[in-house]
Each structure stands twice: as C-alpha cells, then as structure tokens.
Structure 1
Amino acid sequence: MSLGPLRGRIAVARGYVGRTATLAGTAGLAVGALTTDTLPFAVTLAGAGAATAWGLAWSATLPAGRVRDAATALYLASPVSAAGLLVTEHLVHASPTWWEFALDALWAVATWKVRPARMARVLAGRERSLTPQAVQQVQEQQAADLAVAGSNHPMSLWWAQRVAVEGGVAPGTVLTDVERTGEKSMTALIRAAAPGTPVPTISITALSALLDWDEEEITVTKVKGHGASIRRLYVGIAPQQVIDPYTNWVQNIAPKGMPGTQITEIRKVPVTNLTKELP
C-alpha cells in the first residue's frame, strides 16, 4: 500500500537503511562462501553484531511483556541468522558449495520480503504509518480523492470507498454517468482516475461478491470510440435489454443463422383482428 504523506522522513530513511543493510549482508555472505579471508569475515560479522546490539537497545525501550519478547525476536532474526550462516561457512569452508549459496539466497529473499525489523515495529506500535488506524486513514483519503474525481451519486461514492481503493477490485478508478435503466438494473461508466492509464481488469466474481448480485447479470464492456481508460458497467437486466430486437438479433439470431447481418429498420403493422385465421 502506498502510504504517501503518512510516512515521515525518518520512516522513509529507516526503510532505505534496512534495504541497504540487507544488500550488504547478502554481499558479505556471498564473499564468505567464496573465501576464507579474515577481513571480509570480520567486517560482515561486525555489521551483524552492530545490528544485533541496536535491536537489543531498541527492544529495551519497550514495556515488558509478550509483545516485547516477540518484537525482539523479530528484530534480531536477520542479524543473528546472518551471523550464524557466516560463522558456519567460515568453519566448514573448503571450496564453494551449492548449499552455501542456496542458504545465502534464502536469507536474502526472506529478509527482503518479510522485513522482520519493520514487522517488529508494527507489532510494538512503533511504525505509525502501518497501524490499522493509519491504513484506514489512507483508504479513507483515497476514497475521498476518488469521490471528488467521480460524481456525487451514491453508487459513485460507494464505488470510491469499496471498489476503487488500493487493493480493491478496481483500484484507481471512478464511476461516472450512473443511470438507472430499470427497477433492478443500472449502467455507468468506469473511468481511470489517472489520465492515460487503462481501467484494470475487473473480476466479475469479486464485484459480484461486493454487490451481492448475480454474476451473470454483471457485465463490463468496451466503449465504442474510446480507449482502455473507459469501460461500460451493466448491473442487472434492463427491460430494454430483454425486448430490444436489435440486440436480440445481434447476440442470439445472427451468429446462429445469418452471420454478419444486422437489422436496419423495423416496420410496425397494427393488428386489428386477432381472431383471424392464417391461410
């Protein structure tokens, strides 16, 4: 999730420092797998030790309890495991082996993806930008921005709050030109909020779950004469969709019996005698 202004400069800088430390640790482990030289071993081990000391000092500022214990374990997981790998490689090293590189890669990927130090801060409530309240605030701000870009129709506001937020069914979109086509049907335009960007692929199943509406009655189609930044949404079956002979011909009759044909004109002839028998 993009947290924008909720992330202060210190939090952003801390993130960069963590990424840099992960890359440095990966490089140190790789060198340790390739050589038994003392200098790179000592430098990498010193870095892991410094990170461990920092983690212990940070955890000491937390109130005693299970939260502190769990946060401390998370904070120390990366430097302690890196130090263990490095010492193991140094002690058993004869020539580079595949398992050393595999373990180093596993450590690097796990640390980069999981980010245990940040998880520890979140658990301890020290990462303000990732608390549930902050995430909710970001989602509300995103919904407000999208609502301004869309319309004031209740369906447009609902779309901005539930569908268009980051992680939603159609992030970064607005719903405009909402039109009721029947008692239980509507149509609207889905537009990309950012100019020049396409409307993302929308899961009908997910949208059906949000709307609590039959999947077979929800359709998202292209808009003739426009690019991928606009899509047409249909919900429900409008009366004209059922009785429109033009649509019925194109969708049901022409493909089966007369491909490529279309109705150009319909003549209506009044029937005055419904009881008259056909010859």
Structure 2
Amino acid sequence: MGEVRLGLNDNFVIIKLIYLLLCSVLSAVNVASIPDECEVSWCKKHHEPSVRFPFRLQHRQPPRCGYPHPGFQLSCSENGQTLLNFPPAMKLVVTHIDYKAQRIHLYDPANCLWRQFSGLNSSAFPFYSWDEPEVDAYTLFNCSSDDESLYQTSTRIPCLTIPGYQIIALPSDSNAYADNLLNCSNIGNFSAPIYPWLTGRFQLPWKEPNCGECEMEGKGCRLKRNSTQDQTECFYIPSHHMGVGEKLMIAGKWGFSCPLQFVDKYDAA
C-alpha cells in the first residue's frame, strides 16, 4: 500500500476535532463551572449543623441559596453557634438539621420560649409541634398579689418574673381567676405555635418546602428556575467538581483554552 500523506488542511481538521473533543470532555465534567456559593456551609468548618437548602447562612450565602421565607435564614453567633432568627427577636441555637426527615433541632440557652416567641406572628412561623398544643393563645398578666391560689404551676412563668411581681399566663378564651386579677395588669397576648413550657433541646418539623424526597434519592433540592412561585425541584449532584484551577491547568497542559462558559453548576442538573 502507498504511503498516506496528510496535507496542511487535513492536519488542521484533525487538530480541530481533537480540540472539540477535549472541550466536550471538559464540559461534560463541568470544567467550565465556577465555585458555587450554594455549597454546604457551616458556622464552624465541618461542625454541626451543616447548612444547605432550604436553609442558608446570612452574610455567607446569597438569598438564592435558601427558601425565601424568614424561618429558613440562619446566622452565626460570635462564638460560632448556628442561630435560627425569626422576627421580631427570636434567636434559637440550631444543633442539627435532619434534611430527610425535615426536622430542625433547637434549644434556647435561656430556657424561656415565652420571651423568644413574644410578639411572634405564629401564622408565618414555618415550623410546627409534633403535638398540637391544647392552648395556642394566652393572655399574660403581671401580678403583685400574694394569693398563692393564683400562682398555679401550670400558669406561672418563672423566666419572665421580676422581683415583687409574678407573670402568669391564662388561656385567652378563659375567664378563670377573674376575681383574683384585681392586682394584675394585662401585659399582652401570646400566640404559641408550640408548647411554650418546653425546656432543653427540642425538635420542630417543617412541611414546606418539601425536599425530603429529593434527599431520600440522594439528590439536591433547589428553587425551580424561572418560577414565579416558591416551587422547588430535585437535581442531580455530580460526585466531583473540579475547581477552576484544575480546569485551567488541564487546558494549559494541552496547550489550548476552550471558550469558557461560566455556568453555575446548580444549573447543570
């Protein structure tokens, strides 16, 4: 057989094909992506709890990384604790987040949920109790009476009490002890999304957004793209993403650069 000679144009075609093939390979492994701000984050590196959608760490992850509801905005304290913030003044410590079961583990260091939930709009609170509280609305009274019959254990709120006065809570729809409230002043109403006498560590589940199925399948959960509502969707999480340095090093090793299309890898579901 005669020797096959390749002309200049043929060599150019082959080089171009190799170039396109390598670019395709690099693209397939998400070479053109940039580091994602929605990666798992922590207040203390690799310490509980890990934070990802539907939660986000304020000032560390952009708003698009979390569900657009104030109950899913977390922050870091000065000593590295993860805090659940909810207006007007709630700050509870988060110890763990179970994304599959959709439960957040919390505790109040001061053991005074009455103070934490003061002024809360409970209808906007995204979490709920395992058991619905028998009473979800209370009226609080500041009393100076010495009548001990007024201060039953079930109504006294020690963590709000100040010297010389006792704070008690009565169901808002109850007229109990009406005759004994002469030395008491009404200091406001309290709407409780959970049992307010809880102390220590407790868990609160959430229903929306429902990302539990995504988690069970080993997938990520995110806001649906181009949706006008707060709809979510599952997406595939590649097992490994190379950093930009790796990608450029690979490209430089082969002596060429692909037309980089910087795409958020969370768009590459």
Query: TM-score scaled to structure 1, two decimals?
Result: 0.22
Higher helix share: 1
Query: TM-score scaled to structure 2, two decimals?
Result: 0.22
In our comparison, the structure showing a higher alpha carbon Rg is: 1
RCO higher in 1 or 2 (8 Å CA, sep ≥ 6)? 2
